[in-house]
Amino acid sequence: DVDVYDPSALAGSLHRRAADVLEANWTGTSTVPSRGLYPHQWSWDSAFIAIGLRHLSPLRAQTELETLLDAQWGDGRIPHIVFNPSVPLDAYFPSPDFWRSSTAGRAAGAPLTTQTSGIVQPPVHALAAWLVHRSDPGLSRARGFLSRVYPRLAAWHRYLLHRRDLGGGGLASVVHPWEQGMDNSPTWDAPLARITPAPARSFRRADLDHGAAEDRPTDLDYGRYVRLATDYRDGGYRDRAGGGYRDRAGGGYRDRAGGGNRAGHGEFGVEDPAFNALLIASEHALARIAKELGATDTARHARAERLTAALVERLWDPAEGMFFCRDVIGDELVPERSVSGLLPLLLPGLPRAIVAALVRTAHGPRFGLGDSTRLAPSYDLTGEAFDPHRYWRGPAWFNTNWLLERGLRLHGETGRADALRAAFLTTAGESGFAEYVDPYTGEACGALGFGWTAALTLDLLH
């Protein structure tokens, strides 16, 4: 009887459709987030994609991460985009001729032949490498996968923990909204307001060729993104941490030379809860990788615990029951409620009271889980800036919901994790593996056949 509801058959076809998306987005050495909108390799996308790909081909999943790591800079940074030289320059903006990595990034050790961007994205990579290893330890050992990626991942974390500790409190800062990955979140509105936008005629957006303008960031946002990236590039992609720029007595930022912003970079610096939680989760994963490779010291786990304490001390707001971003320029919390502020739920070492508060906030009126929304929105439903369709200002994204599901399960919230998993799978399938969806209706927004949506679907099916 064809009308009989058969969940296993549905799961089977969902699995096949998700696998088809990853097959279609595979280039031979890595996976594009989307053939039209994002035709290159993106850093955190690749980490999430590898986590799903491991269920189809552990070899491809290893290759995905190794391709990304081959583009690592000498100073340890993993660039947020690795450009595919066979894609036309005008297919994506900003293109390699904007970033000029091999020349402008020379002092920071950018690769000579591969073209990349010069900013970073959230460090999901060590977590991904560990999960990929676990999917086929035999193949991983035979290929020496972990011993090859370990030193690179360690250098990546060193870069973030030293060169990016702009606030002086032990956490990593992002210097551009694209680095945190939630480009136009209302969290950035205040820190971005001090940035003079680049003139609209000085660049051409390629994203509007593929996405609806009302679902994408505004031209004003783009002007500021371009200004920040240009200034960072023109300063040779140098980072300002480690030189004692922090004026501890005054609490504000002081230029070492005392003369305003050096080379123009340094106007934007934010400690973000999700970025740092992913760094900590990846630090725990690096500890497991080190152990698998025969190391005996427990320094990495201890460091992850210290970072968790710093995260709580610097970003937790007990009255609000969630984490906030800290603007390191003004040294103050940014009072905007982004889903980023729930993602530390991922961490094993979080105090129980904080876990309980995060679960309450996620299931309360601001994020609506288990009640008004299908999936957690990217931003507070009751916030003034909430918009159910505009990119990171409200729509639900699948990577953040996968992280929340993982956090709920880790902390024993099995019923809630099961409910979120079911909603994730239904919405991913119905939306055609959309990039993001209306959090209430699940209506598809942005690109379809999106890489991490398909990959994380596969992961939750396993």
As a residue count, the chain comes to 462
Q: Which stretch binds ligand 9WN (CB under 6 A): 39-47, 158-166, 295-303, 408-416?
A: 39-47
Q: What is the DSSP string of 290-346?
A: HHHTT----HHHHHHHHHHHHHHHHHEETTTTEE-EEETTTTEEE---BGGGGGGGG
Is residue 33 a contact point for ligand 9WN (CB under 6 A)? yes
* Minimum CB distance to ligand 9WN, residue 206 (Å): 9
Is residue 44 a contact point for ligand 9WN (CB under 6 A)? yes
CA dist 325 and 273 (Å) reads: 6
58-70 and 125-135 are packed helices; what angle lies between their axes, rounded to 10 degrees? 150
Residue 263: name the closest of 242, 240, 245 by CA. Answer: 240
Q: Which stretch binds ligand 9WN (CB under 6 A): 42-50, 286-294, 330-338, 408-416?
A: 42-50
Query: Exactly one of 66, 165, 207, 435 is catalytic; which is it?
Result: 435
Q: CB-wise, 34 or 140, nearer to ligand 9WN?
A: 34
Is residue 402 a contact point for ligand 9WN (CB under 6 A)? no
- Provide the pairing of β-strand 396-397 with 316-317: unpaired
**Using CB under 6 A, which of 26, 42, 150, 424 touches ligand 9WN?**
42
Cβ-contact 171, 224 below 8 angstroms: no
Determine whether 183 is an active site residue. yes
* Minimum CB distance to ligand 9WN, residue 185 (Å): 9
62 to 81: interface string for ligand 9WN, x by CB under 6 A: ------------------x-
CA dist 439 and 370 (Å) reads: 12
Q: CB-wise, 33 or 52, nearer to ligand 9WN?
A: 33
Is residue 45 a contact point for ligand 9WN (CB under 6 A)? yes
Instruction: Give first-to-last CA distance, the chain, whole Å.
Output: 27
**Using CB under 6 A, which of 73, 156, 159, 178 touches ligand 9WN?**
178
* Minimum CB distance to ligand 9WN, residue 442 (Å): 19
Is residue 183 a contact point for ligand 9WN (CB under 6 A)? yes
Residues 24, 28, 30, 34, Cα dihedral to 10°:
-30
Is residue 436 a contact point for ligand 9WN (CB under 6 A)? no
φ, ψ for residue 333 (rounded to 5)? -70, 145
Determine whether 435 is an active site residue. yes
Q: CB-wise, 64 or 413, nearer to ligand 9WN?
A: 64
Is residue 99 a contact point for ligand 9WN (CB under 6 A)? no
Compute how many other C-beta atoms are within 10 angstroms of the C-beta atom of residue 243: 10
Cβ-contact 322, 342 below 8 angstroms: yes
Q: What is the DSSP letter of 197?
A: P
Q: CB-wise, 80 or 284, nearer to ligand 9WN?
A: 80
In what helix (H) or strand (E) does residue 445 lie, and over which residues does it extend?
strand 444-445
CA dist 191 and 328 (Å) reads: 9
Q: Which stretch binds ligand 9WN (CB under 6 A): 36-44, 358-366, 375-383, 403-411?
A: 36-44
Is residue 26 a contact point for ligand 9WN (CB under 6 A)? no
Q: Which stretch binds ligand 9WN (CB under 6 A): 166-174, 178-186, 304-312, 374-382?
A: 178-186
Cβ-contact 37, 211 below 8 angstroms: yes
Query: Exactly one of 45, 179, 183, 459 is catalytic; which is it?
Result: 183
CA dist 446 and 257 (Å) reads: 45
Q: CB-wise, 33 or 344, nearer to ligand 9WN?
A: 33
197 to 236: interface string for ligand 9WN, x by CB under 6 A: ----------x-----------------------------
43-53 and 7-25 are packed helices; what angle lies between their axes, rounded to 10 degrees? 130
* Minimum CB distance to ligand 9WN, residue 349 (Å): 26
**Using CB under 6 A, which of 38, 156, 324, 424 touches ligand 9WN?**
38
Cα dist from 23 to 45, 55, 210, whole Å: 15, 13, 21
Beta bridge pairs of residue 317: 322
Q: What is the DSSP letter of 271?
A: E
Residues that bind ligand 9WN (CB under 6 A): 33, 38, 42, 44-45, 80, 178, 181, 183, 207
Residues with a catalytic annotation lie at 183, 435
